[in-house]
Amino acid sequence: MKTSRISGFYRKPVEERKELILDMMELNGGERSAFFPTEPLELEIADHMVENVVGTFPLPLGVGLNFLINDKEYAVPMAIEEASVIASASHIAKIVRDAGGFKASSGERLMIGQIQVVGCPDFEEAKAAVLNEKSELIEICNDAYPSLIQRGGGVRDLDVRILNEHEDSDYSKMLIVHIYADTCDAMGANMINTMAEAAAPRVELLTKGKVYLRILSNYAVKSLARATCIIPPSLLKTGDFDGEAVRDGVIHAYEFAASDPFRAVTHNKGIMNGIDPVVIATGNDWRAVEAGAHAYAARSGQYSSMSVWSKDEAGNLVGELELPMSIGTVGGATRVHPMAQMALKMLDIKSASELAQVIVSVGLAQNLGALKALATDGIQKGHMALHARSVAVAAGATGELIEIIAEKMIETKEIRSGKAKELVEEYTL
Ligand code: MEV
């Protein structure tokens, strides 16, 4: 893979951008011509994915550039409808690469399944009985999904929690069995659900209670991925703001989000602006990732910032983001969706852990992009430039004229379709 630092990419026509990505990936011949699907999602495939299909719903797919993560180059596919997001991620990725790139890591990758048991005559006895038969229950789970064992995965552990033991209502007292499974490179929802359902009858016998729910938990705290970056202030300088001022503004913005849920929600939305587009482009379940990420942001008991920004002893800006990442690189929509397959090829990743690390790095970049803009010029300046371009396109501008007309409208502070039409006529006479 060649460098993902491709200057002037955004100014090129779409077909040329595609060629540049293929060049970056060092593809040749047949690999090149087969890389970008001719049809993003055929109706026939869509019809097998969900029910009552009447069409498909395309989103723009852009590429986040300049990403250097653990010394590896990445072109990051991002599917999103919101303007500025991809430009901002690429802008920050460039700053971070100049500072040495993102460092990312992930530990164990275990998905969690839950079995809910109610009406146990004695909850402590029931808990002891389940723990006593741990190995047998793990075996039942593993027998329910033999192909996972063949691939080196399977249930690694099991534990039990008792909820609301001292409450009066029999509805609220319950015993929860957690199973922890290595689902290899799959997100693993089906595997976990199958295993939980398979173990439930034995759990009922052991606990003398009644099993209700048997389902994956999207609070994937045993599948955490982390990204960090350390940026010298000299790289943060922007317009009239020196690097130290930008750094301090970012830290103040973080402290605001860390202490105030009203701000934290928006701050975290900015992080998910980076995360969701990659999750979507790779065919993963973005609702699962969203739910887990927001729950993790509230793990202290108060909903807070997902990221942490601080200053180290040398005065560098230090950013950190750790989130649960229930994603996969095999199975589900990643297997059938041609664009998801293409996105995974573009990322050139070897495992779900690696994908998780890329995703949190993009989230951290996106967060810094928003905070840097908010703590300096405000975000409207950048948004207005993009808005002006789309007003120019809607008024009929094409090619180089789009930029010229957009700039004219910004200059005269008249970003509206009437003005754009006037300018189109003026320039095309
Ligand atoms: C807009 O989509 C995202 C931001 O509001 C994030 C933030 O406020 O940090 C700019």
Question: What are the sequence ranges of the domains in the chain?
Answer: 9-107+223-378, 110-217, 382-428
The radius of gyration of the chain from alpha carbons, rounded to an integer in Å, stands at: 25
263 CA closest ligand 1 atom index = 8
The residue among 113, 328, 358 whose CA lies nearest residue 219 is 113
Specify the residue with its C-alpha closest to ligand 1, atom 2: 270
Using an 8 Å Cβ cutoff, are 282 and 344 in contact?
Answer: yes
Cα 381 to ligand 1 centroid, rounded to whole Å: 14
Q: What phi, psi does 310 have (nearest 5°)?
A: -150, -175
Q: Which of 267, 268, 276 to mutate to test the pocket of ligand 1 (most atoms within 8 A of CB)?
A: 267
Q: Which pLDDT does position 428 carry in this prediction?
A: 85
> In this predicted model, what pLDDT tens digit does every residue of 142-188 receive, in sequence order?
999 999 999 999 999 999 999 999 999 999 999 999 999 999 999 99
Label the pairing between strands 174-182 and 307-311.
unpaired
Specify the residue with its C-alpha closest to ligand 1, atom 6: 270
Cα 164 to ligand 1 centroid, rounded to whole Å: 39
Range from 218-222, 245-249, 268-272, 399-403 carrying the lowest mean pLDDT: 399-403
Mean per-residue pLDDT for 1-14? Answer: 91
Q: Is the CB of 238 within 6 Å of ligand 1?
A: no
Q: Which CATH architecture has domain 110-217?
A: 2-Layer Sandwich (3.30)
Position 382 pLDDT exceeds 80: no
Cα 138 to ligand 1 centroid, rounded to whole Å: 44
Q: Which pLDDT does position 147 carry in this prediction?
A: 94
Cα 314 to ligand 1 centroid, rounded to whole Å: 29
Cα 377 to ligand 1 centroid, rounded to whole Å: 14
85 CA closest ligand 1 atom index = 2
The alpha carbon torsion through 33, 34, 36, 41 (nearest 10 deg) reads 140
| DSSP structure class, residue 390 | H
82 CA closest ligand 1 atom index = 2
Distance CA(369)–CA(82), nearest Å, equals 14
Q: Which of 80, 266, 307, 376 to mutate to test the pocket of ligand 1 (most atoms within 8 A of CB)?
A: 266
Q: Which pLDDT does position 399 carry in this prediction?
A: 86
Partner residues linked to 102 by β-bridges: 69
371 CA closest ligand 1 atom index = 9
Specify the residue with its C-alpha closest to ligand 1, atom 3: 270
> In this predicted model, what pLDDT tens digit does every residue of 79-131 receive, in sequence order?
999 989 999 999 999 999 999 999 999 999 999 999 999 999 999 999 999 99
CATH number for the domain running over 9-107+223-378? 3.90.770.10
Cβ neighbors of 352 (< 8 A, separation 6 or more) are 109, 184, 185, 186, 187, 327, 328, 329, 330
> In this predicted model, what pLDDT tens digit does every residue of 206-259 receive, in sequence order?
999 999 999 999 999 999 999 999 999 999 999 899 999 999 999 999 999 999
Q: Given 3-state DSSP classes, what are the helix, strand and coil percentages for the chain, each rounded to the nearest 5?
A: 50, 20, 30
Q: Is the CB of 269 within 6 Å of ligand 1?
A: yes
Q: Is the CB of 375 within 6 Å of ligand 1?
A: no
Specify the residue with its C-alpha closest to ligand 1, atom 1: 270
**Which of 333-345 are b and which e, b meaning 16 or more Cβ less than 10 Å from the residue's Cβ?**
bbeebbbbbbbbe
Q: Is the CB of 379 within 6 Å of ligand 1?
A: yes
Domains 9-107+223-378 and 110-217 share a fold: no
Cα 354 to ligand 1 centroid, rounded to whole Å: 26
Cα 294 to ligand 1 centroid, rounded to whole Å: 16
The residue among 311, 309, 276 whose CA lies nearest residue 294 is 276
Distance CA(89)–CA(5), nearest Å, equals 13
> For residue 387, what pLDDT band results from cuts at 50, 70 and 90?
confident
E runs forming strands in 301-364:
307-311, 317-324
Q: Is the CB of 370 within 6 Å of ligand 1?
A: yes
Q: Which pLDDT does position 189 carry in this prediction?
A: 95
Using an 8 Å Cβ cutoff, are 327 and 282 in contact?
Answer: yes
Q: Which pLDDT does position 381 carry in this prediction?
A: 79
Position 383 pLDDT exceeds 80: no
**Residues making up the chain, counted from first to last:** 429
Distance CA(380)–CA(404), nearest Å, equals 19
Mean per-residue pLDDT for 295-303? Answer: 98
Report the 10 Å Cβ neighbour count for 311: 15
The alpha carbon torsion through 375, 377, 379, 381 (nearest 10 deg) reads 180
DSSP string, 149-181: HHTT-EEEEEEEEEESTT-S-TTT-EEEEEEEE
Specify the residue with its C-alpha closest to ligand 1, atom 7: 267
Active site residues: 82, 269, 285, 383
